[in-house]
Amino acid sequence: MTVDVAIIGGGISGLATAHALKRQGRKVVVLERQTRPGGNAQSERIGDFLMEHGPSTINAASTAATGLSTDLGLDDQRCDLGEGVQKRYLVADGTLSGISAGPMGFLTSGYLSVTGRLRMMAEFLLPHQLDGEDETVMAFCSRRFGREFTERVIDPMVAGIYAGKAADLSVSAVFPKLVALEREFGSVSLGMFRRYQQGAKMPGSRLYSWSDGIGALPRALSARLGGCIQTGIAVQRVRRGPWGFKIDAGSAGSFDARAVVIATQPHVTAQFLDGLDDAAATAAGEIKAPSLAVVFLGFKRNQVDHPLDGLGFLVPQGEGRLINGAQFGSTMFPGRAPEGCVAVTGYFGGARAPDLARLPEADLIALARKEFSDLIGARGEPVVARVKYWPLGLPQYEIGHMERTACLRDAEKHTPGLFVTGNYFEGPSVSSCLERAMKTAQAALGCLELSDRGVKAQYELRAQ
């Protein structure tokens, strides 16, 4: 089979890239190892419960995501966060501490000590650092906002978004806007205030999903792509051919493509780059993705004491708990639990404790039940219990990440027709993957147009 572009990996990144290319009339094929496309983005109905195996929310500020939702006809299924979401919760001394969602929440609640709050507010008085050395999120935020705020707020947030640790991740890769604000204004809070005065939105974003969960997005993309998707195909090797690339899929045969987009997890990308660009293969291979387990539990409403009036909770590492955080799915969106029931999801493993995620399912369920019993007063046998294990969870944007992704971008320049996309470039969120996918599709189109012009010129030359 010969195509314009072969896309390896049918997660959100690969599907969105393929969709954008197909819309421009290009012949594409998406090769996906699993039997179902979507990668991390899978929603599962369990009776009248709905479990999200991976992502559960989309950032409403992302134009790439909202544009695609409209384009795919998903807007009438869109659900915004429920009115029950009143607070954010963090664990303090073994109990949930509720903080109101406004920007002043941390200043007005007693979650941080008075000294911690004063230190946080003093940020704009502190000298700035402009030496350009990358720092960890922990070092940067402790320097600017103090250790208490960083350990009790930022680190749990990093565990929630990246399944990572603030002490390991690069601030330039994870929070580039904070670094830029310090550079430009000498202070993050002053910079935010100035930007706000200039009309920018304050951080904090609205979140949404669809009535059948995030899985609606890959389903709609797959429906548009139709026969262009081939599932159950594990690509083994990518080689350069005389007219582009040869993609070897073992017993499933091989595919010839003028351009190739590698949209797999970084360790798989590393295997494909081996032999095409060794430096980029090494860079991709260095991106860690620790194991993660998602434990979904459904209870009768009267089995749970807590009002569940928030998104869920995050856990500072110093609390010494085994759970990293949780979401109150049935509060967040309608249709996540049957009448009279609630759905909660616990997240285990990640960079804090990858071995924990590898425990047998029964142990993980028992662990989640214990954590939910301690923290939200969940009692008795759950109505449903399900575990999703991700052997390689989320990519860790550790110190050196910017250099690694620069090396991958260089590989695209050195090897015309080769493109790399995925959740380790511009952020792990679905919306960041979509934004990167749009840029990848644009670059692939540019490359095909250039080659079309080259071929046309050759024909014209021969005809003269």
Ligand X SMILES: Cc1cc2nc3c(=O)[nH]c(=O)nc-3n(C[C@H](O)[C@H](O)[C@H](O)COP(=O)(O)OP(=O)(O)OC[C@H]3O[C@@H](n4cnc5c(N)ncnc54)[C@H](O)[C@@H]3O)c2cc1C
The residue ranges that bind ligand X (CB under 6 A) are 8-14, 31-34, 39-41, 54-58, 234-235, 263-265, 268, 292, 294, 390, 393-394, 422-423, 428-431, 433
Measure Cα distances from 210 to 142, 213, 336 in Å.
38, 5, 11
Residue 463 in 3-state DSSP?
helix
- State in angstroms the smallest separation of the CB of 381 from ligand X: 25
- State in angstroms the smallest separation of the CB of 178 from ligand X: 20
Cβ proximity to ligand X: between 56 and 396 the closer is 56
- Single out the residue of 91, 46, 80 nearest to residue 341, CA to CA: 46
| Residue 259, Ramachandran bin (φ over 0: left; ψ between -120 and 50: alpha; else beta) | beta
- State in angstroms the smallest separation of the CB of 127 from ligand X: 36
- State in angstroms the smallest separation of the CB of 452 from ligand X: 27
Cβ proximity to ligand X: between 3 and 12 the closer is 12
Cβ proximity to ligand X: between 140 and 419 the closer is 419
Cβ proximity to ligand X: between 126 and 161 the closer is 161
DSSP 124-146: GGSPP--S----BHHHHHHHHH-
Cβ proximity to ligand X: between 91 and 295 the closer is 295
CB atoms within 10 A of CB 333: 24
Cβ proximity to ligand X: between 32 and 148 the closer is 32
Cβ proximity to ligand X: between 33 and 240 the closer is 33
Burial of residue 113, with CB atoms counted within 10 A of its CB: 0-12 exposed, 13-18 middle, 19 or more buried: exposed
DSSP 214-229: TTHHHHHHHHHHGGGE
- State in angstroms the smallest separation of the CB of 191 from ligand X: 25
Burial of residue 449, with CB atoms counted within 10 A of its CB: 0-12 exposed, 13-18 middle, 19 or more buried: exposed
- State in angstroms the smallest separation of the CB of 41 from ligand X: 5
Residues in the chain, how many? 464
DSSP code of residue 335: T
- Single out the residue of 411, 448, 159, 54 nearest to residue 266, CA to CA: 411
- State in angstroms the smallest separation of the CB of 330 from ligand X: 16
